[in-house]
Structure 1
Amino acid sequence: MIGLYPTWFEPGVGSGWVVGLIATIHVLFSHTSVGAAIFFAWLANHAHRHNKPELLEFIRRYGLFLLVFSYVLGSITGPGIWFATTVASPRGISALIHSFVWMWATEWVFFVIEVVGVYMLVYLAGRIDVKTHTRIAVIFGLTSYTTMLVIVGILSFMMWPGNANWTETGGVLNAFFGPNTFAQLGMRTAFMFTITAVVGGIVVGSFKDLAVKKQIGRQLAVLGMAAAVIGALMLQWYLATLPETAEVVLENRLPAHFPMALMAAVGGTIAYFLLTLVQPRAIVSGLAGVMTVVILVFGLWPEEVARESIRKPWVAGQYVYSNQVVGRDVPGMGVKSEIPTIEAHGFLKTHVFMPEHLRTVTDANRVEAGRALALATCSNCHSLSSTGMRPLAQYFVGTHSEADVATYLQAALSGGNTLYMPQVPLNDVEARALAAFIQSIAKPLASVQAVQAKE
């Protein structure tokens, strides 16, 4: 037996999209808070040095806005990510925890300091001496950025362990630090300032004094445009650090509109900042709110979907497949590949939570056993219905026979020859069962498409 958990199956959009939706919204909240924290540190020092109380008022209002926008909503979506990823990818989360438990503990400590810091920065403005308030702003900014550094290192490990020797030696630093870590940190740092500047427009729009609006709006516009350009350059650095499998997915598996969506989001954001720089009256809360949604839908969503897609077939450390099977030996962590066990005994017989009546395929249960295989091996990346992400049926619509589909599955999956899909060493019986299930969902879809074509 191999220690696989039961599969979380969400029939509507798929577990991957549920995680992706929560994570993308959380990125908006978290990146705004980190960028604002660092911006506040500079702005508070500038305000105190040049005696500009209106800037401190902006910090106070923006800070109050963040208490709900980032720290309340972010504190809801953050645990939401933990819950969703734990049920969708339990072994992936386990791998991250075993590698980074103290890193995560450190991040939580800094997050507590960050939350306390934003309250102190907002409610003590004008009530304590300038030097102390500036120190609070700096501490708030540094602790907030530290939380991002830790999380980015963990996200980078999901794509590509930092040190090539990590599989042999183990060690948190070998897992954490690598070219992908700093490239992703640089890209996210740049874009977080862009997001901070856009969201800041919601707050600036509430100021009635045009001179104040012009002053703060100019600073946000310069920050946002510079960060957007630097972020686009950092994205090229990030792409240069990706492994071979990620490049294949980028070229062959992502929708063609993804690059255009990202370019449109960056271009539209720069155009918005140029407008507010030239015409401060254009800084209204409604327009800034629309731009925030635009960045979320056309910027963050494609970026997060692409990042999650290009790490396929792995979910963590290049050794846990997206379907939770351990696909590689990691001597440094005492981990053994489960592929030989599956090859020797079959997937149905080695999955702990497989119903007993499906462990042996018969003519009576062939389709049901195939569905169980699809749930365990495919549903993490493919929807088993006609909706959701990458519907499995759409890849097999046509006149293919069950034998043809089984042959293809074994050729594509059994030897691990498809770079972006996990190795699933199906034996002949399991391949025919999975093919039978795929045929059962592909034929109705083919009929629907035929009727639509006639209409």
Structure 2
Amino acid sequence: MDFPIFHIDFIGNRLLIAVDAILHVIINHAFAIGALPVVALFEYKGMQTQNKQWDDLAYRLLKIIFILTTTVGALTGVGIWFSAALVNPAAIGSLIRVFFWGWFVEWLVFVAEVSLIMAYFLSWQNAAKCPDAKRRHLRLGIFLATFSWITMAIIVAILGFMMDPGNWMSERTLLSALFNPMYLPQLAFRTSLAMVMGGFVILFLICLFNRHKHTPGDRAFKRDAVSLLSRWSACWLVLFVFASIWYYNVVPGLMLESLPVAIATQDYVTWHSSLKWLLIIGLIFVGLTMRASFKYPGEVSIKRYALSVLLLFAMLGQFERVREFIRKPFIIGQYMYANGIRVEDYPLLKRDGLLQHAIYNDIREITPENTLHAGREVFAQACTRCHTVKGVNGIRAQLQRMYSDKPWDAKIITAYLENMHNARYFMPPFPGNDEELKALSAYLASLQTNAEPFHGAQITGIPKPDSIATSTSYGFLPDLSNVLTGVNK
């Protein structure tokens, strides 16, 4: 409403964020959260046993973690901010206002985390020369692992808030937002999952590092390392099972009703049960691999560890997708719909119309001549956060499934849109007035014969704000024509 519409039609806004976010979460959970404690554990084991093999293994692992987290991890973390701010600036703005001090602390912790991992990695060789220096160096590793977890702990509070704000809806305090109903269960779930993922990644790397080492000493060390790590990971796997049950039991009932579509998508919703069992079988395979590793250390094949790692990565990616989907129709539970419009603003928009309050929009009054153009503008404001025209989650393909090749009737589409939220709870209610609903329906019907992709403001330019938009209850907006680049006058 208050910002120009950014949109990439072939990939869609949801997938743009999802690809970046899932890659970031995999790196963060498996390497920063799950693997760093193991590196510190192996370093401690080396100090305790005076066996340099432990120290060498820990250093090789840390080198991989250092490279991945400071490149891919850091870039995708920034990418989440960049893409989310472009796609749904209203939601990001609301979250910043609620969690300003929480994010401020998280930023300080993140800066400390980056400093610690650089110090931990770069000082490793020198620290090995002196026992006192080595003990101080180990403390660096413990602090690094702790700070990495604290970063996640703060972000998880925000993710939980977006699903269920809890008492914040009435109290409007930072503490009520942080300690939302989803926070502790999700934190337990993610912590234990990250530790299991980190354990399996390192089990795979241990096998990879030792694939050409066949001396008795090397085989004995591999068994010791795998045995220690298997015991560590097995404990976290048990906690993960209990945390998963806890987390599932606090998810609101309406969200659970969306699980079939969330797991299998609308195209394959009938496969929901089959896909659910595939996930369960995958978890059983991971559990059996852990049992074999625990019982027969050093005997499990590298391929089995690799498959377990891939399964865990895939499950985490699917979990993130499901979590994002079942939150709908909201992007911030009970506060803001997925289209970036606050629940409390709906009566105003129903009365005045959506286009009257969309600042960067060049249509205020709908006429027979501009109906399709107006419908396109309504589509931009109300639909493009989730839908494209011809790309991923394309609206044209969905209309094709609903109405096939017979002529698409705007009146029938209007009737569907009026009751869309009741038929599909995960779809937000239509936010505009009756004229805008009819204009949107006319535009959607026109896509049957004229399916041009929808281009965002990054391609079409930014419309100049006018006096109608700037004088509404959304607040006064000064003339920005002299400072905006790419403005369509």
Residue in 2 that maps onto 1:168: 170
Deviation digits for residues 90-123 of structure 1 (CA, Å, limit 9, x no counterpart):
1111111111122112112222222232333333
Deviation digits for residues 366-398 of structure 1 (CA, Å, limit 9, x no counterpart):
333222222221222223225447754356334
SS in 2 for 1:323: coil
Tell me how far apart the structure 2 counterparts of residues 215 and 270 of structure 1 sit (CA, whole Å).
Answer: 20
CA gap of 1:228–1:372, structure 2 versus 1, over 3 A, is farther
Residue in 1 that maps onto 2:28: 30
Contact 1:201–1:283 (CA under 8 A) maintained in structure 2: no
CA gap of 1:386–1:28, structure 2 versus 1, over 3 A, is closer
Residue in 1 that maps onto 2:479: none
Between 1:249-258 and 1:339-348, the stretch displaced more is 249-258
Residue in 2 that maps onto 1:133: 137
> Displacement of 1:189 after TM fit?
0.7
Letter aligned with residue 16 of structure 1? R
Tell me how far apart the structure 1 counterparts of residues 277 and 83 of structure 2 sit (CA, whole Å).
Answer: 29
- Between the two proteins, the alignment pairs up a number of residues equal to 426
Tell me how far apart the structure 2 counterparts of residues 321 and 213 of structure 1 sit (CA, whole Å).
Answer: 52
Residue in 2 that maps onto 1:206: 209
CA gap of 1:216–1:397, structure 2 versus 1, over 3 A, is farther
SS in 2 for 1:112: helix
Contact 2:375–2:442 (CA under 8 A) maintained in structure 1: yes
Tell me how far apart the structure 1 counterparts of residues 262 and 196 of structure 2 sit (CA, whole Å).
Answer: 28
Letter aligned with residue 193 of structure 2? F
Tell me the TM-score normalised to structure 1 length: 0.85
Residue in 1 that maps onto 2:471: none
Deviation digits for residues 32-62 of structure 1 (CA, Å, limit 9, x no counterpart):
2112222334443343233343222221111
Tell me how far apart the structure 2 counterparts of residues 11 and 224 of structure 1 sit (CA, whole Å).
Answer: 43
2:413 aligned with 1:405: yes
> Displacement of 1:20 after TM fit?
0.6
Deviation digits for residues 386-445 of structure 1 (CA, Å, limit 9, x no counterpart):
5447754356334563212101212235xx785322232433322222222222335789
Residue in 1 that maps onto 2:430: 424
Tell me how far apart the structure 2 counterparts of residues 263 and 351 of structure 1 sit (CA, whole Å).
Answer: 46
Q: CA RMSD in A?
A: 2.6
CA gap of 1:70–1:268, structure 2 versus 1, over 3 A, is farther
> Displacement of 1:80 after TM fit?
0.7
2:347 aligned with 1:340: yes
> Displacement of 1:203 after TM fit?
3.0
Contact 1:114–1:143 (CA under 8 A) maintained in structure 2: yes
SS in 1 for 2:331: strand
Tell me how far apart the structure 2 counterparts of residues 39 and 213 of structure 1 sit (CA, whole Å).
Answer: 15
Letter aligned with residue 280 of structure 1? G
Letter aligned with residue 381 of structure 1? C
Between 1:191-200 and 1:375-384, the stretch displaced more is 375-384
Letter aligned with residue 28 of structure 2? S
Contact 2:339–2:383 (CA under 8 A) maintained in structure 1: yes
Residue in 1 that maps onto 2:446: 440
Residue in 1 that maps onto 2:334: 318
> Displacement of 1:299 after TM fit?
0.9
Counterparts in 2 of 1:202-241, with a 5 A limit?
Answer: 202-204=204-206, 205-207=208-210, 208=213, 209-241=218-250
Contact 1:382–1:392 (CA under 8 A) maintained in structure 2: no
SS in 2 for 1:396: helix
2:14 aligned with 1:12: no
Tell me how far apart the structure 1 counterparts of residues 118 and 281 of structure 2 sit (CA, whole Å).
Answer: 36
Residue in 2 that maps onto 1:334: none
Picking from 266, 276, 280, the partner of 2:298 is: 280
Counterparts in 2 of 1:238-253, with a 5 A limit?
Answer: 238-253=247-262
CA gap of 1:217–1:444, structure 2 versus 1, over 3 A, is farther
Tell me how far apart the structure 1 counterparts of residues 254 and 450 of structure 2 sit (CA, whole Å).
Answer: 33
CA gap of 1:386–1:90, structure 2 versus 1, over 3 A, is closer
Tell me how far apart the structure 2 counterparts of residues 173 and 107 of structure 1 sit (CA, whole Å).
Answer: 15
Tell me how far apart the structure 2 counterparts of residues 116 and 261 of structure 1 sit (CA, whole Å).
Answer: 41
Tell me how far apart the structure 2 counterparts of residues 275 and 28 of structure 1 sit (CA, whole Å).
Answer: 25
Deviation digits for residues 218-264 of structure 1 (CA, Å, limit 9, x no counterpart):
23334344434432332221121122331222245541155345324
Contact 1:245–1:312 (CA under 8 A) maintained in structure 2: no
Tell me how far apart the structure 2 counterparts of residues 28 and 116 of structure 1 sit (CA, whole Å).
Answer: 22
Gaps of 5+ in 2: 265-271, 452-489
2:358 aligned with 1:354: no
Residue in 2 that maps onto 1:331: none
2:377 aligned with 1:372: yes
> Displacement of 1:13 after TM fit?
2.3
Letter aligned with residue 160 of structure 2? S
Gaps of 5+ in 1: 328-336, 446-455
